[in-house]
Amino acid sequence: MEKVPSVRKVSDLVHIVIANNPTLIYTLSVGRTAKIKKVQLMNYTAANDFVTFGQGAGLGFLAHMPALVTIALLDAQFSEWEIPQYEFEANIYAVVPVGSIVAPGTPVDVLIEVEEIG
């Protein structure tokens, strides 16, 4: 059985500033799939937030992982041992629920490391 080549890549730092609006986190290379291996979050809001990863923009967003929690004004890190190893076949988006982002200028920052396969 031939091993499928893979490479680890890191997303840009993305600031999610609008609640309930899927935000593009990672653009997948053509002809490849990806698994999220690490997640780093920074919550600048005064409330606990949830971040959900999935595929599809706007109303087409479909969550592929349970929400990850970030505590108010703190950072959070999750490794591949703590998150489901769903294999994304399209660009990766993240969304926070309505009411999570309390004011402009207080984003939730997101950075992910993925393993691209294929």
59, part of any domain: yes
Any idea which residue has 């920052």 for tokens? 109
109 is a domain residue: yes
Does 91 reside within a domain?
Answer: yes
User: What is the number of domains present in the chain?
Assistant: 1
Question: Would residue 60 count as lying in a domain?
Answer: yes
- For residue 26, the Cα-to-chain-centroid distance in whole angstroms is 8
**pLDDT tens sequence across 55-64:** 999 999 999 9
The pLDDT score that the predictor gives to residue 104 is 63
Residue 62 lies inside a defined structural domain of this protein: yes
Q: Which residues contact 101 (CB under 8 A, 6 or more apart)?
A: 16, 17, 18, 19, 45, 49, 107, 108
pLDDT of residue 98: 77
Look up the domain containing 88 and give its range: 6-117
**Per-residue pLDDT tens over the stretch 79-95:** 999 999 999 999 999 99
The CATH number that applies at residue 75 is: 2.60.120.1330
Q: Within a domain: residue 1?
A: no
